[in-house]
Amino acid sequence: MAAIQLKDVVKRYGTGASALQVIHGVNADIADGEFIVIVGPSGCGKSTLLRMVAGLEEVSGGTISIGNRVVNDLEPAERDIAMVFQNYALYPHMSVFDNMAYGLKIAKVPKDEIKARVDKAAGILELGHLLERKPRQLSGGQRQRVAMGRAIVRQPQVFLFDEPLSNLDAKLRAQTRLEIQKLHRELGITSLFVTHDQVEAMTLAQRMIVMNAGNMEQFGTPEEVYTRPASTFVASFIGSPPMNLLRHAPGGRDGAILGIRPEHLDVGAVGWEARVETSELLGAERLIYARVGDEQVIIRVEEHGGAPAPDSVIRIAPREDRLHWFDAATGKRL
């Protein structure tokens, strides 16, 4: 296992005035054994950052260290990392055992050790009864577990996951998230996990890097990112539904945006006047969409009193200890 350090990491394509810079000076110290999620929308640079750690993309500036060793100029095979991709990339003509063992055979690892490593990984991932099957005989979730098993048997210093759950349906995604958490608890290997799904990020990460347009907007625990977002981008990207961001809140500050989570607006007899547009029932809770002045707000309430009628007027009071203020010009937290 090994710590990872990203220091002023830059990525640009091309040279001179026409160069396109896609990663803008990322800095992060990742502890040995930590599980870090890199999250952000499509095109934000999260996969590019991961591929630079892997050695699949050249670093244009700054340094990447794995285990106190600068790896900028090392080939992927020299970095002691293992990757799990979105597509499983299994050999269709090989059994599960042979798919998991293939890299070890190429490395000329003794047969007894190969069997021991594959059997151990198969036990962790509950694949023992599938070792003789071909990939076409497996479900999507089972194929992804085989891909993870192939990475585990390498016994790398670092695991790199590039949106590995994207091809699974919702139920399998949730199940596989639990398996990845269990895997990390058992192995304790330093891991970087890329996703665009903020639910995956919140549930898997010990700490998370939130990327936006090639910049690291925030680096912290899921709780820190959710309760104290560093910018309006983080506030709107992390959380479902997103934080309400009001430029003209009643009693607001000049030149500042007020942020308030939907669950921190209370419906009652006092507070802001809001006109209801619609509502959504989500089982035990309801989302109410309303307008305060010309701005939309979302209120999350427990489902016990029925839905307010469209076009009716309600009053909502923000909890004073849950307000967030952001600079209107920069979007940064005040």
Question: Cis peptide leading into 242, omega within 30 of 0?
Answer: no
Kindly state the average pLDDT of the residues 133-150: 90
Which alpha helices (DSSP H) does the chain contain, by range?
A: 46-54, 96-106, 111-124, 140-152, 170-187, 198-204, 222-227, 232-237
* Rg, the chain, Cα only: 24
259 vs 285: CA distance, rounded Å: 21
Q: How confident is the model at residue 63 (pLDDT cuts 50, 70, 90)?
A: very high
Cα separations (Å) of 196 from 172, 200, 210, 314, 328? 17, 8, 10, 35, 26
Q: So what's the pLDDT on residue 41?
A: 95
**What confidence score (pLDDT) does residue 253 get?**
83
DSSP label of 231: B
* Residue 39 identity: V
Whether pLDDT at 305 is above 80: no
pLDDT digits 0-9 by tens, 154-186 = 889 999 999 988 888 888 888 888 888 988 998
Q: What is the pLDDT of residue 162?
A: 93
Residue 157 token pair: 């210093």
Position of tokens 């930590």?
34
Q: pLDDT for 309-327, tens place per residue?
A: 999 999 999 999 999 999 9
Whole-number Å distance between alpha carbons of 104 and 119: 13
pLDDT tens digits for range 214-268: 999 999 999 999 999 999 999 999 999 999 999 988 878 888 999 999 999 999 9
Residue 1 has pLDDT above 80, yes or no: no
pLDDT at residue 49, as a whole number: 97
Q: What average pLDDT does the chain have?
A: 93
Q: Are 108 and 186 in contact (CB under 8 A)?
A: no
Residue 143 backbone dihedrals phi, psi, to 5 degrees: -60, -40
Q: Which long-range CB contacts under 8 A does 116-120 form with residues at least 24 apart?
A: 117/152, 117/153, 117/155, 118/149, 118/153
Q: What percent of the chain has pLDDT over 90?
A: 77
Residue 52: φ, ψ to 5° = -70, -40
Q: Give me the mean pLDDT over the 188-215 stretch.
A: 96
Q: Which of 56-60, 185-189, 274-278, 326-330 has the lowest mean pLDDT?
A: 185-189
Instruction: Give the Cα separation of 220 and 218 in Å (integer).
Output: 6
- 304 pLDDT higher than 80: no
pLDDT tens-digit profile of 265-281? 999 989 999 999 999 99
Is pLDDT above 90 for 202? yes
pLDDT digits (tens, 9 = 90+) for 76-129: 989 999 998 888 789 999 999 999 999 899 989 999 999 999 999 998 888 999
- List all residues 6 or more positions away from 7 whose beta carbon is below 8 Å from its beta carbon: 27, 62, 63, 64, 65
pLDDT at 140 exceeding the cut of 90: no
Pairwise CA distance, residues 253 & 323, whole Å? 12
Q: State pTM to two decimals.
A: 0.91
Q: How far apart are CA 236 and CA 284, in angstroms?
A: 23
| Percent of residues, the chain, with pLDDT higher than 70 | 100
Q: Give all domains of the chain, ordered by start, each with its CATH number.
A: 4-230 (3.40.50.300), 241-327 (2.40.50.140)
| Predicted local confidence at residue 234, as pLDDT | 98
Q: CB under 8 Å to 258, separation ≥6 — which residues?
A: 245, 246, 249, 252, 318, 323, 324, 325
Q: What is the dihedral of CA 181, 46, 30, 208, to 10 degrees?
A: -60
